[in-house]
Amino acid sequence: MATSDRAAKNRHGAMKQRSVAFDTQSSEDLGFDDIRKRLADHCKTESAIRRAQKLAPSTHRPTVLDALESTDELRRIRVEGHTFPTLVFEEIKGEIKLLEVSGSALTEAGFIRVLQCTRLVNDIVAALHQRERAFPRLCGMVGTVSENTEIVKEIEAVFDPKGGVRNQASQELAKIRISMQTARRQVNRLFDKAMRTCSKQGWLADTEEGYLNGRRVLAIASTHKRKLRGTALGTSKTGSVTFIEPVECHQVNHELEMLRDDERKEIVRILRALTQRIRKHTPLIKAQQRLLVKLDFLQAKVKLALDMDGVKPHIIKELRIELLKAHHPLLLLTHRSKGLPIQSQNLTLLPTQRMLVISGPNAGGKSITLKMVGLIQAMAQSGLLVPVHPDSALGLFKQILTDIGDNQSIENQLSTYSYRLKRMKGFLCDACRNTLLLLDEFGTGSDPELGGALAEVFFEELYEKKVFGVITTHYANIKTRATAMPEAVNGSMLFDGETLSPTYLLDLGQPGSSFTFEVAELNGIDKGIIHRAKDKLDPRKVKLDGLIAGLQKEKSRHARMVDRKLKAEHEAEEAKREYERRASRLNERQDAVQQVGQEQNSALLRGRKLQQFINRFKTGQANKELLEDIRKYLSVEATKKAEKAEAAARKKAAKDGRRQSARNRQNLDRIKVGSTVRLREGRQRGEVLDIKGKRATVAFGDFRTRVELADLVWIR
């Protein structure tokens, strides 16, 4: 095998290992196909569109980081208003192929496309010049592509700003065009003379003249067509008008045609010569084309990110998912287009909490939350910015597998349940610790009791394979089994027990009730029918579901009370701060009034002293002695003023220091395990989980972090 073949095979093998097991069904289930389509719609070139259509997640961390960071750099350029050219250009793949063929010539339009691309690349290189520290990935993407003025000068020497070949492109072309201008003037002079004659004779039709086959012709009424010497080139639709070229113009028009042919041949010769001069730059032109296609694709990713407020999450080496303030990308775009609100979610999957079982009522948001996790993970591993908080963190999975929705196979005569069993068989064979598994309505499609038992065994098998997963279910045995597994956790979509309406918020730690009977009653189902249905069930199951439903109602009530309390505390804090601001202003006014009074008393004393000096001067005392007393007085007053200012500054600094120290001591003394706190520079509230020395572990929702005590503010 040739060395190049082996190298190509090795590269292909490396790429194959880095690609994620993400089949067509998973892409369709999660809506990744829709993301690809939206991305392709933002692309301008065919090459970028094909790249968008083939976009797939990667497990190669440097590749993912490079894609995310380069996209984020271009996003920052667009959002922050940095100087950067607008990426408007046409692909030049055809022109590059012609440049690679010896003796070929580019077309006029082809040269204009090459010129536009070269100018654009020159502008890009200039915009990124000496900005490697701010935009290292974009500068790295430009690489060895440098500004090239030679291509621009060569093409601009031949073409004018409108894209036409200049008269000065060659001496021969200039000569031909001068002859053409002379011939046109002669044709027009002879034509106008013939038209005046026909007009006097009354042979002309209403339109008088026209153009046929690029020639100027007279519009003669057909009844007079034989009276004019010339060549008939056509007639009107009705036949009432005949278009005739006067005989006087024949010879000159023939000469003009010969000149046009000479012009075409000379232009072809000029373009072939120009192509030959440009051909030496073919490697650079190829590099320019590759760069522009990359930037076109990158710009499409930025536009998609701006549509959904996408940001770059942290890509970490360990396997875990920490989503903060995350939105389902497609749902966000849909709701935003309709002006509807959308609820964000916080969700964490850790090695010690890797399987999340979500339960709760129908239409409560279980499936959306599950799809959100998978779609955000697939997008991030594909180098796309995602709608999450920037502090969100994602590991890289080698497999993202789904079983979502009703996937009957008519061709293979498979029912929904048969299809799911077949897919589950594949999961049991292929799943491993680097797998993210997303199963919606786990175990449904068969007899509830029998299907639930089989689903529980599947759940146990997948758990033993150390997979990460999000599972939605209504089966009580799956919820119970998750409670008993140390690395699994239950979660529920919160439901307002009073209004029986979903809140679309995920709550970790306990299973959720389906609120089956409550929702049925709300929808007008007779209570007698509901009681009969309850009588057909195991009383313990009805009681358990009731307890869970009651717990969720109580939790919803408690959450509302906490919200009201937090709101009241916030209002109280605002009122306290407003009081302190007003008290401070009042004290400042009192101090100002007191200071004005002291200054007035001092001025009065200085005035009396001055009056004494004046009186002494009137009594005839020696002026020398008087001046000496005045200088002493002024010196003493200046010293007093300086000492007073210094003392006031020391007093203020000491007062501020005592006040700040007292506040800090009081704040630190209040912070205990279980306290509600916030960061000094933030508003999000968290709970103190642990305190060691001068640092505390604080949980802000599902996100935990270590913080200096001095950076925290006690709330309650």
Asked if residue 234 and residue 220 are part of one domain, the reply reads yes
Is 471 in contact with 442 (CB distance < 8 Å)?
A: yes
Residue 225 lies in a domain: yes
Closest by Cα among 359, 357, 360 to 483: 357
Q: Grade residue 394 by pLDDT with cuts at 50, 70 and 90.
A: very high
Asked if residue 64 and residue 173 are part of one domain, the reply reads no
Helix then strand count (H, E) for the chain reads 21, 19
What is the CATH classification number for the domain harbouring 237?
1.10.1420
Q: Rounded to a whole number, what is the distance in angstroms from the first to the last CA of the chain?
A: 73
Is 75 in contact with 300 (CB distance < 8 Å)?
A: no
Spatial CB neighbours of 670, under 8 Å, sequence gap ≥ 6: 714
- Across the strands, what pairs with 469? 355, 437
What is the tally of structural domains in the chain?
4
Asked if residue 154 and residue 53 are part of one domain, the reply reads yes
Give mean pLDDT, residues 431-449.
78
Closest by Cα among 702, 686, 703 to 711: 686
Residue 323 lies in a domain: yes
What is the CATH classification number for the domain harbouring 385?
3.40.50.300
Q: Grade residue 208 by pLDDT with cuts at 50, 70 and 90.
A: confident
Residue 544 lies in a domain: no
Closest by Cα among 49, 30, 38 to 304: 38
Residue 559 has pLDDT above 70, yes or no: no
Residue 15 has pLDDT above 50, yes or no: no
Residue 618 lies in a domain: no
Owning domain of residue 703: 671-716
CA distance linking residue 139 with residue 212, whole number of Å: 56
Give mean pLDDT, residues 409-425.
64
CA distance linking residue 587 with residue 290, whole number of Å: 69
Asked if residue 337 and residue 296 are part of one domain, the reply reads no
Instruction: Please tell me which residue, 429 or 155, carries the higher pLDDT value.
Output: 155
Residue 516 lies in a domain: yes
CA distance linking residue 498 with residue 490, whole number of Å: 23
Q: What is the pLDDT of residue 712?
A: 82
- Across the strands, what pairs with 409? 414
Among the candidates 504, 536, 568, a domain finishes at 536
CA distance linking residue 25 with residue 403, whole number of Å: 8
Asked if residue 418 and residue 401 are part of one domain, the reply reads yes
CA distance linking residue 702 with residue 597, whole number of Å: 59
Using one digit for the tens of pLDDT, what is the confidence trace for 128-179? Answer: 988 888 899 999 998 888 889 999 999 999 999 999 999 999 999 999 999 9
CA distance linking residue 439 with residue 177, whole number of Å: 75
Q: Which of 64-68, 186-190, 386-390, 578-582 has the lowest mean pLDDT?
A: 578-582
Residue 632 lies in a domain: no
- Strand arrangement, sheet containing 703-708: 703-708, 695-700, 685-692, 676-679, 712-714
Residue 93 has pLDDT above 80, yes or no: yes
CA distance linking residue 352 with residue 125, whole number of Å: 48
Asked if residue 494 and residue 362 are part of one domain, the reply reads yes
Instruction: Please return the burial class of 538, using the count of CB atoms within 10 Å of its CB with bins 0-12, 13-18 and 19+.
Output: exposed
Asked if residue 182 and residue 108 are part of one domain, the reply reads no
CA distance linking residue 227 with residue 246, whole number of Å: 11
Using one digit for the tens of pLDDT, what is the confidence trace for 494-542? Answer: 766 555 566 777 877 666 555 666 666 666 777 777 667 666 665 555 5
Instruction: Please tell me which residue, 244 or 213, carries the higher pLDDT value.
Output: 244
Instruction: Please tell me which residue, 419 or 467, carries the higher pLDDT value.
Output: 467
Q: What is the pLDDT of residue 664?
A: 61
Asked if residue 320 and residue 216 are part of one domain, the reply reads no
Among the candidates 236, 266, 296, a domain finishes at 266
Residue 12 has pLDDT above 60, yes or no: no
Residue 415 lies in a domain: yes
What are the Cα distances from residue 416, in Å, to 200, 262, 362, 478, 536?
Answer: 89, 74, 19, 20, 27
Is 409 in contact with 387 (CB distance < 8 Å)?
A: no
502 CB-side CA count, 13 A: 20
Among the candidates 488, 510, 536, a domain finishes at 536
CA distance linking residue 335 with residue 340, whole number of Å: 5
Give mean pLDDT, residues 275-300.
94
Residue 547 lies in a domain: no
Helix 282-307 to helix 46-53 angle, to the nearest 10 degrees?
50
Provide the H-helix boundaries in 19-165.
24-30, 32-42, 46-53, 61-80, 93-99, 108-128, 136-142, 149-158
CA distance linking residue 356 with residue 479, whole number of Å: 10
Q: What is the pTM of this model?
A: 0.70
Is 32 in contact with 375 (CB distance < 8 Å)?
A: yes
What are the Cα distances from residue 445, in Å, to 142, 234, 404, 405, 511?
Answer: 54, 76, 12, 11, 21
Amino acid letter, 77:
I
Asked if residue 516 and residue 383 are part of one domain, the reply reads yes
**What's the mean per-residue pLDDT of the chain?**
82
What's the 3-state SS for 280-302? Answer: CCHHHHHHHHHHHHHHHHHHHHH
Asked if residue 382 and residue 468 are part of one domain, the reply reads yes
Is 314 in contact with 393 (CB distance < 8 Å)?
A: yes
Query: Phi and psi dihedrals of 132, rounded to 5?
Result: -65, -35
Asked if residue 394 and residue 432 are part of one domain, the reply reads yes
- Using DSSP bridges, classify how beta strands 230-235 and 435-439 pair: parallel, antiparallel or unpaired: unpaired
Q: What is the pLDDT of residue 85?
A: 92
Q: Give the three-class secondary structure for 577.
A: helix
What is the CATH classification number for the domain harbouring 686?
2.30.30.140
CA distance linking residue 239 with residue 225, whole number of Å: 11
Asked if residue 182 and residue 119 are part of one domain, the reply reads no
Using one digit for the tens of pLDDT, what is the confidence trace for 236-281? Answer: 888 888 888 888 888 888 888 899 999 999 999 999 999 999 999 9
Helix 623-670 to helix 539-618 angle, to the nearest 10 degrees?
170
Q: What is the pLDDT of residue 609?
A: 72
Closest by Cα among 274, 342, 281, 277 to 308: 342
